[in-house]
Structure 1
Amino acid sequence: MRKIILYTILLAIVSCGKTAEMEEEKVEGSSVYAFSFVGTSYEIVKENKSWTDAVSFAVARGGYLSEINSEEEQNAVFLELTTKAGIVLNETNNEFGYAAVWLGGNDLAEEGSWVWNGDNEETGVAFWIGGVDGSAVNGLYNNWGNEPDNNGDQDALCIGLEATPINSAGKWTDLDGNKNQLHFVIEYD
Protein backbone atom coordinates (compact mmCIF):
# COMPACT_ATOMS: atom_id res chain seq x y z
CA MET A 1 0.00 0.00 0.00
CA ARG A 2 2.83 2.41 0.88
CA LYS A 3 4.50 1.71 -2.47
CA ILE A 4 1.30 2.60 -4.32
CA ILE A 5 0.89 5.84 -2.35
CA LEU A 6 4.56 6.77 -2.87
CA TYR A 7 4.30 5.96 -6.58
CA THR A 8 1.14 8.09 -6.86
CA ILE A 9 2.83 11.00 -5.09
CA LEU A 10 5.93 10.68 -7.27
CA LEU A 11 3.78 10.55 -10.41
CA ALA A 12 1.92 13.69 -9.29
CA ILE A 13 5.21 15.51 -8.64
CA VAL A 14 6.60 14.54 -12.04
CA SER A 15 3.35 15.58 -13.74
CA CYS A 16 3.38 18.97 -12.01
CA GLY A 17 6.92 19.61 -13.18
CA LYS A 18 6.02 18.99 -16.79
CA THR A 19 6.79 22.03 -18.96
CA ALA A 20 5.30 20.87 -22.21
CA GLU A 21 2.10 19.19 -23.26
CA MET A 22 1.81 17.90 -26.77
CA GLU A 23 -0.42 16.40 -29.38
CA GLU A 24 -0.23 15.76 -33.09
CA GLU A 25 -2.92 16.30 -35.68
CA LYS A 26 -3.41 16.85 -39.40
CA VAL A 27 -4.25 20.43 -40.41
CA GLU A 28 -4.90 21.39 -44.02
CA GLY A 29 -2.94 18.31 -45.14
CA SER A 30 0.03 19.16 -42.87
CA SER A 31 1.18 17.17 -39.89
CA VAL A 32 1.09 19.55 -36.92
CA TYR A 33 2.65 18.79 -33.54
CA ALA A 34 1.42 21.04 -30.71
CA PHE A 35 3.06 21.75 -27.37
CA SER A 36 3.20 24.44 -24.72
CA PHE A 37 5.97 25.99 -22.69
CA VAL A 38 5.48 28.39 -19.77
CA GLY A 39 1.95 29.29 -20.82
CA THR A 40 2.76 29.83 -24.51
CA SER A 41 1.37 27.51 -27.18
CA TYR A 42 3.37 26.38 -30.20
CA GLU A 43 2.85 24.22 -33.26
CA ILE A 44 5.53 22.55 -35.30
CA VAL A 45 4.26 22.21 -38.85
CA LYS A 46 5.88 19.33 -40.69
CA GLU A 47 5.29 20.59 -44.19
CA ASN A 48 7.93 22.32 -46.28
CA LYS A 49 7.14 25.90 -47.24
CA SER A 50 9.06 29.02 -48.17
CA TRP A 51 9.49 31.50 -45.32
CA THR A 52 6.71 33.79 -46.59
CA ASP A 53 4.34 30.86 -47.21
CA ALA A 54 5.08 29.60 -43.68
CA VAL A 55 4.25 33.08 -42.33
CA SER A 56 0.96 33.10 -44.28
CA PHE A 57 0.08 29.65 -42.91
CA ALA A 58 0.87 30.80 -39.34
CA VAL A 59 -1.16 34.00 -39.65
CA ALA A 60 -4.13 32.12 -41.15
CA ARG A 61 -4.09 29.94 -37.99
CA GLY A 62 -4.02 33.00 -35.70
CA GLY A 63 -0.32 32.85 -34.84
CA TYR A 64 3.07 33.91 -36.17
CA LEU A 65 6.41 32.25 -36.82
CA SER A 66 8.07 31.74 -33.45
CA GLU A 67 10.16 34.39 -31.72
CA ILE A 68 12.78 32.96 -29.35
CA ASN A 69 13.38 35.41 -26.51
CA SER A 70 15.38 33.46 -23.93
CA GLU A 71 17.76 30.56 -23.53
CA GLU A 72 15.02 28.63 -21.72
CA GLU A 73 12.61 29.10 -24.61
CA GLN A 74 15.36 28.18 -27.10
CA ASN A 75 16.11 24.97 -25.18
CA ALA A 76 12.43 24.02 -24.88
CA VAL A 77 11.66 24.60 -28.57
CA PHE A 78 14.84 22.80 -29.67
CA LEU A 79 14.02 19.82 -27.41
CA GLU A 80 10.54 19.54 -28.91
CA LEU A 81 11.93 19.84 -32.45
CA THR A 82 14.63 17.21 -32.00
CA THR A 83 13.17 14.63 -29.65
CA LYS A 84 9.39 14.85 -29.50
CA ALA A 85 7.91 16.18 -32.75
CA GLY A 86 8.89 13.17 -34.85
CA ILE A 87 10.73 15.21 -37.46
CA VAL A 88 12.62 13.21 -40.07
CA LEU A 89 15.75 15.29 -40.62
CA ASN A 90 16.11 14.74 -44.37
CA GLU A 91 12.51 15.89 -44.89
CA THR A 92 13.35 19.50 -43.92
CA ASN A 93 16.75 20.02 -45.52
CA ASN A 94 17.96 23.44 -46.54
CA GLU A 95 19.81 24.12 -49.79
CA PHE A 96 23.08 23.03 -48.16
CA GLY A 97 21.69 19.61 -47.19
CA TYR A 98 21.19 20.20 -43.45
CA ALA A 99 17.96 19.94 -41.48
CA ALA A 100 16.52 23.28 -40.37
CA VAL A 101 13.19 24.82 -39.37
CA TRP A 102 11.91 28.38 -39.96
CA LEU A 103 11.59 30.86 -37.10
CA GLY A 104 10.06 34.35 -37.26
CA GLY A 105 13.14 36.53 -37.73
CA ASN A 106 14.27 38.30 -40.89
CA ASP A 107 16.29 41.19 -42.26
CA LEU A 108 14.11 41.74 -45.32
CA ALA A 109 13.69 45.50 -44.80
CA GLU A 110 17.40 46.25 -44.36
CA GLU A 111 20.37 43.91 -44.69
CA GLY A 112 21.86 43.17 -41.28
CA SER A 113 18.94 44.64 -39.30
CA TRP A 114 17.31 41.51 -37.88
CA VAL A 115 13.80 41.80 -36.46
CA TRP A 116 11.25 39.43 -34.99
CA ASN A 117 8.53 39.71 -37.59
CA GLY A 118 6.85 36.32 -37.72
CA ASP A 119 3.62 37.78 -39.10
CA ASN A 120 5.49 39.65 -41.89
CA GLU A 121 3.96 43.00 -40.98
CA GLU A 122 5.72 46.27 -41.79
CA THR A 123 7.53 46.48 -38.44
CA GLY A 124 9.08 44.11 -35.99
CA VAL A 125 11.18 44.10 -32.82
CA ALA A 126 14.88 44.51 -33.65
CA PHE A 127 17.08 41.90 -31.95
CA TRP A 128 20.38 41.86 -33.94
CA ILE A 129 22.37 44.33 -35.98
CA GLY A 130 25.15 43.39 -38.39
CA GLY A 131 26.58 40.16 -39.68
CA VAL A 132 28.51 37.40 -37.96
CA ASP A 133 30.42 40.00 -35.93
CA GLY A 134 27.28 42.02 -35.15
CA SER A 135 25.65 42.55 -31.79
CA ALA A 136 22.38 42.08 -29.93
CA VAL A 137 20.02 45.04 -29.92
CA ASN A 138 19.28 46.22 -26.36
CA GLY A 139 20.73 42.98 -24.97
CA LEU A 140 17.97 40.84 -26.52
CA TYR A 141 18.53 37.10 -26.70
CA ASN A 142 20.10 35.56 -29.80
CA ASN A 143 21.55 32.17 -30.63
CA TRP A 144 23.51 32.75 -33.83
CA GLY A 145 26.32 30.36 -34.57
CA ASN A 146 28.84 31.60 -37.10
CA GLU A 147 26.03 33.55 -38.72
CA PRO A 148 24.34 35.60 -40.09
CA ASP A 149 26.57 35.72 -43.15
CA ASN A 150 24.13 36.72 -45.94
CA ASN A 151 25.67 34.10 -48.22
CA GLY A 152 23.52 34.61 -51.33
CA ASP A 153 20.88 37.08 -50.14
CA GLN A 154 19.84 35.18 -47.02
CA ASP A 155 17.15 37.16 -45.22
CA ALA A 156 15.12 34.59 -43.24
CA LEU A 157 15.93 32.99 -39.88
CA CYS A 158 15.97 29.28 -39.15
CA ILE A 159 17.20 26.98 -36.41
CA GLY A 160 19.51 24.13 -37.39
CA LEU A 161 18.46 20.68 -36.23
CA GLU A 162 21.84 19.10 -36.84
CA ALA A 163 25.48 20.16 -36.81
CA THR A 164 26.97 21.72 -39.94
CA PRO A 165 30.61 22.42 -40.80
CA ILE A 166 30.25 25.92 -39.27
CA ASN A 167 27.55 25.52 -36.57
CA SER A 168 26.43 23.13 -33.87
CA ALA A 169 22.86 21.84 -33.76
CA GLY A 170 20.42 24.36 -32.29
CA LYS A 171 22.21 27.44 -33.59
CA TRP A 172 20.44 30.00 -35.75
CA THR A 173 21.34 30.69 -39.35
CA ASP A 174 20.17 32.90 -42.17
CA LEU A 175 18.81 31.36 -45.37
CA ASP A 176 17.19 32.47 -48.58
CA GLY A 177 13.51 32.45 -47.61
CA ASN A 178 12.34 31.83 -51.17
CA LYS A 179 14.82 29.20 -52.29
CA ASN A 180 14.46 27.01 -49.19
CA GLN A 181 11.37 25.01 -48.25
CA LEU A 182 11.39 24.01 -44.56
CA HIS A 183 9.16 22.91 -41.68
CA PHE A 184 8.33 25.76 -39.28
CA VAL A 185 7.33 26.69 -35.73
CA ILE A 186 4.17 28.73 -35.04
CA GLU A 187 3.76 30.60 -31.76
CA TYR A 188 0.47 31.79 -30.23
CA ASP A 189 -0.04 34.51 -27.62
Structure 2
Amino acid sequence: MFEIHLLTTYACFSPSFVILGCSLQSSHAVCNGILFNQERKTCKLINCSPTHSALDFDPGRWTLFWKTTGMCKTGWSKHEEFCYYFNQTGDTWSNSKRMCEDNGGYLASIRTTEENSWIVDTFLPPWNYTLCSPNWWYCCEYWIGGNDLSLEGTFTWTSDNSTLGFINWYPPSEPDNNSDQDCLSICRDGHWADNPCERVWPYICKAPAI
Protein backbone atom coordinates (compact mmCIF):
# COMPACT_ATOMS: atom_id res chain seq x y z
CA MET A 1 0.00 0.00 0.00
CA PHE A 2 1.41 3.36 -0.99
CA GLU A 3 0.99 6.25 1.38
CA ILE A 4 -0.92 9.36 0.35
CA HIS A 5 0.23 12.60 1.93
CA LEU A 6 -2.62 15.13 1.80
CA LEU A 7 -1.08 18.55 1.99
CA THR A 8 -3.73 21.25 1.82
CA THR A 9 -7.36 21.69 0.77
CA TYR A 10 -8.31 24.34 -1.78
CA ALA A 11 -11.42 25.42 -3.61
CA CYS A 12 -11.14 24.13 -7.18
CA PHE A 13 -13.15 25.12 -10.20
CA SER A 14 -11.28 23.85 -13.23
CA PRO A 15 -8.51 21.39 -14.16
CA SER A 16 -6.24 24.35 -14.91
CA PHE A 17 -5.97 24.83 -11.17
CA VAL A 18 -3.96 21.62 -11.08
CA ILE A 19 -1.11 23.33 -12.89
CA LEU A 20 -1.21 26.56 -10.91
CA GLY A 21 -2.25 25.25 -7.53
CA CYS A 22 0.24 22.45 -7.47
CA SER A 23 3.21 24.27 -8.94
CA LEU A 24 2.88 27.49 -6.99
CA GLN A 25 2.60 26.08 -3.48
CA SER A 26 6.23 26.79 -2.71
CA SER A 27 5.78 25.97 0.97
CA HIS A 28 5.59 22.28 0.06
CA ALA A 29 8.79 20.56 -0.98
CA VAL A 30 6.98 18.12 -3.27
CA CYS A 31 3.55 18.36 -4.88
CA ASN A 32 2.81 15.61 -7.39
CA GLY A 33 -0.87 16.08 -8.11
CA ILE A 34 -4.34 17.03 -6.96
CA LEU A 35 -7.33 14.98 -5.78
CA PHE A 36 -10.51 16.75 -6.88
CA ASN A 37 -13.68 16.14 -4.84
CA GLN A 38 -16.53 16.04 -7.37
CA GLU A 39 -19.23 16.63 -4.76
CA ARG A 40 -17.70 19.46 -2.77
CA LYS A 41 -15.73 21.03 -5.64
CA THR A 42 -12.59 21.14 -3.52
CA CYS A 43 -9.18 19.64 -4.02
CA LYS A 44 -6.21 18.42 -2.03
CA LEU A 45 -2.60 18.71 -3.05
CA ILE A 46 -0.93 15.32 -2.71
CA ASN A 47 2.55 13.90 -2.46
CA CYS A 48 2.71 10.16 -3.08
CA SER A 49 5.60 7.82 -3.61
CA PRO A 50 6.74 6.18 -5.77
CA THR A 51 3.75 6.09 -8.14
CA HIS A 52 0.09 7.03 -8.23
CA SER A 53 -1.02 3.81 -9.91
CA ALA A 54 -2.09 2.14 -6.64
CA LEU A 55 -3.47 5.07 -4.69
CA ASP A 56 -6.30 4.07 -2.43
CA PHE A 57 -9.10 6.60 -2.98
CA ASP A 58 -12.74 6.33 -4.02
CA PRO A 59 -12.96 7.23 -7.74
CA GLY A 60 -16.68 7.83 -7.28
CA ARG A 61 -15.94 10.87 -5.13
CA TRP A 62 -12.44 11.86 -6.15
CA THR A 63 -10.72 12.46 -9.47
CA LEU A 64 -6.94 12.37 -9.66
CA PHE A 65 -5.19 15.05 -11.71
CA TRP A 66 -1.47 14.35 -12.02
CA LYS A 67 0.78 17.38 -12.04
CA THR A 68 1.62 18.89 -15.41
CA THR A 69 5.37 19.39 -15.64
CA GLY A 70 7.30 22.21 -17.18
CA MET A 71 7.07 25.23 -14.88
CA CYS A 72 9.84 27.31 -13.30
CA LYS A 73 10.07 29.04 -9.96
CA THR A 74 9.67 32.80 -9.86
CA GLY A 75 12.79 34.51 -11.16
CA TRP A 76 13.91 31.52 -13.23
CA SER A 77 13.71 31.39 -17.05
CA LYS A 78 12.57 28.28 -18.92
CA HIS A 79 14.31 26.78 -21.93
CA GLU A 80 13.37 23.36 -23.25
CA GLU A 81 12.94 21.14 -20.15
CA PHE A 82 15.10 23.20 -17.81
CA CYS A 83 14.95 26.37 -15.75
CA TYR A 84 17.83 28.84 -15.45
CA TYR A 85 18.67 31.54 -12.93
CA PHE A 86 21.23 34.31 -13.43
CA ASN A 87 22.75 35.69 -10.26
CA GLN A 88 24.32 39.05 -11.08
CA THR A 89 25.72 39.72 -7.59
CA GLY A 90 28.35 37.05 -7.98
CA ASP A 91 30.46 34.83 -5.74
CA THR A 92 33.35 32.39 -5.91
CA TRP A 93 32.82 29.26 -7.99
CA SER A 94 32.43 27.04 -4.92
CA ASN A 95 29.97 29.37 -3.22
CA SER A 96 28.05 29.74 -6.48
CA LYS A 97 27.83 25.96 -6.75
CA ARG A 98 26.47 25.73 -3.21
CA MET A 99 23.92 28.49 -3.77
CA CYS A 100 22.59 26.77 -6.90
CA GLU A 101 22.31 23.46 -5.05
CA ASP A 102 20.58 25.12 -2.08
CA ASN A 103 17.94 26.34 -4.53
CA GLY A 104 17.28 22.94 -6.06
CA GLY A 105 19.66 23.18 -9.02
CA TYR A 106 23.33 23.20 -9.93
CA LEU A 107 25.82 25.43 -11.70
CA ALA A 108 24.74 25.27 -15.32
CA SER A 109 25.88 22.47 -17.57
CA ILE A 110 25.76 23.29 -21.29
CA ARG A 111 25.13 20.36 -23.60
CA THR A 112 24.51 21.87 -27.05
CA THR A 113 25.39 24.82 -29.27
CA GLU A 114 21.77 25.93 -29.14
CA GLU A 115 21.68 25.92 -25.33
CA ASN A 116 24.97 27.83 -25.24
CA SER A 117 23.58 30.50 -27.57
CA TRP A 118 20.34 30.77 -25.60
CA ILE A 119 22.21 31.39 -22.33
CA VAL A 120 24.33 34.11 -23.95
CA ASP A 121 21.35 35.81 -25.61
CA THR A 122 19.18 35.60 -22.49
CA PHE A 123 21.56 36.55 -19.70
CA LEU A 124 24.90 37.97 -20.81
CA PRO A 125 25.71 41.55 -21.87
CA PRO A 126 26.59 42.03 -25.56
CA TRP A 127 30.20 41.60 -26.60
CA ASN A 128 31.92 44.99 -26.48
CA TYR A 129 34.97 45.03 -28.73
CA THR A 130 36.44 48.10 -27.02
CA LEU A 131 36.23 46.42 -23.62
CA CYS A 132 36.75 42.81 -24.61
CA SER A 133 39.52 43.00 -27.20
CA PRO A 134 42.38 42.31 -27.24
CA ASN A 135 42.08 41.33 -23.56
CA TRP A 136 39.14 39.02 -24.25
CA TRP A 137 39.40 37.31 -20.83
CA TYR A 138 37.92 40.44 -19.22
CA CYS A 139 34.60 39.38 -20.71
CA CYS A 140 34.64 35.75 -19.62
CA GLU A 141 33.52 36.31 -16.05
CA TYR A 142 30.33 34.20 -15.72
CA TRP A 143 30.54 30.93 -13.80
CA ILE A 144 29.04 27.71 -15.14
CA GLY A 145 29.45 24.20 -13.78
CA GLY A 146 32.49 22.78 -15.53
CA ASN A 147 35.67 22.10 -13.54
CA ASP A 148 38.76 19.89 -13.42
CA LEU A 149 39.22 19.96 -9.66
CA SER A 150 39.27 16.16 -9.38
CA LEU A 151 41.66 15.45 -12.25
CA GLU A 152 43.71 18.16 -13.92
CA GLY A 153 42.86 18.48 -17.58
CA THR A 154 39.65 16.41 -17.37
CA PHE A 155 36.71 18.77 -17.13
CA THR A 156 33.40 17.49 -15.78
CA TRP A 157 29.99 19.01 -15.06
CA THR A 158 29.18 19.42 -11.39
CA SER A 159 25.56 18.39 -12.05
CA ASP A 160 26.38 14.71 -12.64
CA ASN A 161 30.20 14.46 -12.88
CA SER A 162 29.94 13.65 -16.58
CA THR A 163 32.77 14.71 -18.87
CA LEU A 164 32.14 17.52 -21.31
CA GLY A 165 30.49 16.42 -24.53
CA PHE A 166 29.79 19.64 -26.35
CA ILE A 167 32.68 22.09 -25.85
CA ASN A 168 33.19 25.70 -26.89
CA TRP A 169 36.65 26.68 -25.63
CA TYR A 170 38.04 30.08 -26.56
CA PRO A 171 40.56 29.54 -29.37
CA PRO A 172 43.36 28.84 -29.68
CA SER A 173 44.71 28.11 -26.19
CA GLU A 174 41.82 27.52 -23.77
CA PRO A 175 41.86 25.75 -21.42
CA ASP A 176 45.40 26.71 -20.46
CA ASN A 177 45.45 26.19 -16.66
CA ASN A 178 47.35 29.45 -16.27
CA SER A 179 47.91 30.11 -12.54
CA ASP A 180 45.99 27.00 -11.46
CA GLN A 181 42.70 27.62 -13.30
CA ASP A 182 40.27 24.82 -12.48
CA CYS A 183 36.79 26.32 -12.94
CA LEU A 184 34.85 26.99 -16.12
CA SER A 185 33.44 30.36 -17.11
CA ILE A 186 31.48 31.47 -20.16
CA CYS A 187 32.34 34.59 -22.15
CA ARG A 188 29.95 37.19 -23.52
CA ASP A 189 30.49 35.83 -27.02
CA GLY A 190 29.67 32.28 -25.91
CA HIS A 191 33.19 30.87 -25.74
CA TRP A 192 34.51 29.20 -22.59
CA ALA A 193 37.64 29.67 -20.51
CA ASP A 194 39.15 28.12 -17.40
CA ASN A 195 39.73 30.55 -14.53
CA PRO A 196 40.83 30.58 -10.88
CA CYS A 197 37.91 29.33 -8.80
CA GLU A 198 38.30 31.97 -6.08
CA ARG A 199 37.33 34.87 -8.34
CA VAL A 200 33.98 36.48 -7.51
CA TRP A 201 31.80 36.51 -10.61
CA PRO A 202 28.10 36.29 -11.56
CA TYR A 203 26.87 32.75 -12.11
CA ILE A 204 24.16 30.76 -13.88
CA CYS A 205 22.14 28.03 -12.18
CA LYS A 206 20.18 25.30 -13.95
CA ALA A 207 17.47 22.94 -12.70
CA PRO A 208 14.90 20.59 -14.24
CA ALA A 209 11.52 22.21 -14.85
CA ILE A 210 9.06 21.33 -12.10
- Residue 126 (structure 2) pairs with residue 126 (structure 1): no
- Residue 151 (structure 2) pairs with residue 110 (structure 1): yes
Bigger-Rg structure (1/2): 2
Please list, as runs of the form range in 1=range in 2, the aligned pairs for 1:81-100 lying within 5 A after superposition.
Answer: 81-82=123-124, 97-100=138-141
TM-score normalised by length of structure 1: 0.61
Aligned-partner Cα distance in 2 for 1:174–1:149 = 7
TM-score normalised by length of structure 2: 0.55
**Which residue number in structure 1 is paired with residue 185 of structure 2?**
158
What is the percent sequence identity of the aligned residues?
26
Alpha carbon RMSD of aligned pairs, Å?
2.5
Task: Give the drift of 1:99.
Answer: 4.9
Please list, as runs of the form range in 1=range in 2, the aligned pairs for 1:37-76 lying within 5 A after superposition.
Answer: 37-76=79-118
Deviations 1:149-180 (A, max 9, x none): 0010000000012xxxxxxx2100000001x1
- The number of aligned residues is 127
Deviations 1:103-147 (A, max 9, x none): 0000001110000114xxxx70012xxxxxxxxxxxx21111131
Higher relative contact order (CA 8 A, sep 6+): 1
- Residue 167 (structure 2) pairs with residue 142 (structure 1): yes
Which 5+ residue runs of structure 1 have no aligned equivalent? 1-20, 26-32, 85-89, 91-95, 128-139, 162-168
Aligned-partner Cα distance in 1 for 2:190–2:179 = 22
Q: Is the 8 A contact 2:142 2:203 kept in 1?
A: yes
Which 5+ residue runs of structure 2 have no aligned equivalent? 1-70, 132-136
**Post-superposition, which runs of at least 4 consecutive aligned residues in structure 1 deviate over 6 A?**
none
Aligned-partner Cα distance in 2 for 1:145–1:99 = 10
Q: Is the 8 A contact 2:140 2:192 kept in 1?
A: no
